Amino acid sequence: MTKFSDFANTLQASDIAELLALTEKPEVISFAGGLPAPELFPIEEMKQVDQAIYEKEGRQAVQYGTTEGDVPLREEIAKRMKKSFFVDCEPKDIVVTTGSQQALFILSQILVNKDETIAMESPSYMGAIMAFDPVRPKYIEVPTDDKGIVPEELDAILAKDDSVRMIYVIPEFQNPTGITWPVERRKAFMDVINKYDVVVVEDDPYGEIRYDIEKLPSLKSMDTQGKVVFLGSFSKIFMPGLRLGWTIANPEIIDKFVKFKQAVDLGTSTFGQRQAAYYCQMFDMDAHIKEINALYAKRRDLMCESMKKYFPKECTFTYPQGGLFTWVTLPKELDAKELMPKCLEKDVAYVPGGIFYPNGGNGNHFRLNYSNMPEDRIVEGIKRLGEVLTEALAK
């Protein structure tokens, strides 16, 4: 028997993982993943991009690069940060990461010790909890309402607990709830955190996937004390398989971050970075994002209209103005995990909500993704879910 580390021994097969594995069968109408629509990946354009890279750069295109990332890509990122997130930054403030997922892992490693505390929205992104777990932190769930984190609650927590090292938030089109913080909420949040010695990680992979809401200033754009670390990603606006994200932080954090990243992977794929940079230079990324948003808005509408039509009225759901997810709340007596086998009998799936709470509980929610299924399957899948819910409530 192999002797594993204590942390590795905590990595057990979970019943949820087993259920989610079943959702991958092709006949299942799965609202469980968080996958972008593959039909919008710009494959034809990428053939031209790849050729241009080799023609211009030859073998250098696939040489090792710096840990911070290629300068032309960081220049493109700086432009996007200004235009879409109202942040002034330069390539030196940016590190390209292997997905923003890598940044979550590295940040927890460099900022938090075992038994120190990470505060996060309740609920929050399950993958972040997974990335933070190796540190063995404590988690505090900060209460949220339909406008995001409640600043007064956060203030009370920070005033009481000086072991909070990091506050992890997703202010735009949150995963899993789809909720977006209005500007006033963002300002009130910044007023609170400015009183404490704490780092805020603002995770924003969905900020440019917006349908019927104007661009709002990011927390980073309001940050006067260098406390906010901003995480961006090419996964939802471009192609997730390239595994490209970025981190923007103050020089002190960037320095430690780069040293840690060097140990993790030396640097992010140099060819992948060139693919993203060349695409931005040769084609119109904004037009591409517009196309994505038009398709997803249509799917969001269809999913919400179908839920209105087919779900029992005791079940409520969020109406996201961007991003990939809506969040369904069931009457307290129902448990979404327990209903999963019934859904799978009908070949339809969601993610049960409990796993988005780091300290557990809250079984009466589930997350639905609307970006990845074609329109006819969205309607049919929601209809089937409606049947399961109606039957469960009739008992």
Interacting residues with ligand PMP (CB under 6 A): 34, 99-101, 125, 127, 170, 175, 203, 205, 233, 235, 240, 245
How many angstroms separate the CA atoms of 326 and 178, rounded?
A: 5
CB of 240 to ligand PMP, least distance (A): 5
According to DSSP H, which parts of the chain are helical? 6-10, 15-22, 43-57, 71-85, 99-111, 126-132, 151-160, 183-193, 251-265, 270-282, 285-310, 336-345, 375-394
CB of 271 to ligand PMP, least distance (A): 17
CB of 349 to ligand PMP, least distance (A): 17
CB of 263 to ligand PMP, least distance (A): 19
Long-range CB contacts (within 8 A, 24+) of 308-314:
309/386, 310/382, 310/383, 310/385, 310/386, 310/387, 311/382, 311/385, 311/386, 311/389, 312/386, 312/389, 312/390, 312/393, 314/393
CB of 345 to ligand PMP, least distance (A): 28
CB of 78 to ligand PMP, least distance (A): 18
Nearer to ligand PMP, 100 or 117 (CB): 100
Nearer to ligand PMP, 70 or 335 (CB): 70
Nearer to ligand PMP, 85 or 125 (CB): 125
CB of 170 to ligand PMP, least distance (A): 5
Nearer to ligand PMP, 168 or 310 (CB): 168
Nearer to ligand PMP, 280 or 334 (CB): 280
Q: What are the residues facing 118 on neighbouring strands?
A: 139, 166
Coil vs helix vs strand at 22:
helix
Q: What are phi and psi of 119, to 5 degrees?
A: -100, 145
Please give the C-alpha separations between residue 22 and each of 15, 34, 119, 384, in angstroms, as whole numbers: 11, 16, 32, 17
How many angstroms separate the CA atoms of 371 and 392, rounded?
A: 27
How many angstroms separate the CA atoms of 40 and 289, rounded?
A: 10
Nearer to ligand PMP, 101 or 372 (CB): 101
Nearer to ligand PMP, 109 or 235 (CB): 235
Q: Which residue is nearest to ligand PMP (CB)?
A: 99
Nearer to ligand PMP, 168 or 189 (CB): 168
Residues 6+ apart with CB under 8 A from 380: 29
CB of 127 to ligand PMP, least distance (A): 6
Nearer to ligand PMP, 100 or 329 (CB): 100
Place of tokens 């924003």: 204
The closest of 384, 387, 14, 71 to 246, measured between CA atoms, is 71
**Where on the phi/psi map is residue 115: left (φ > 0), alpha (ψ -120 to 50), or beta?**
left
CB of 102 to ligand PMP, least distance (A): 7
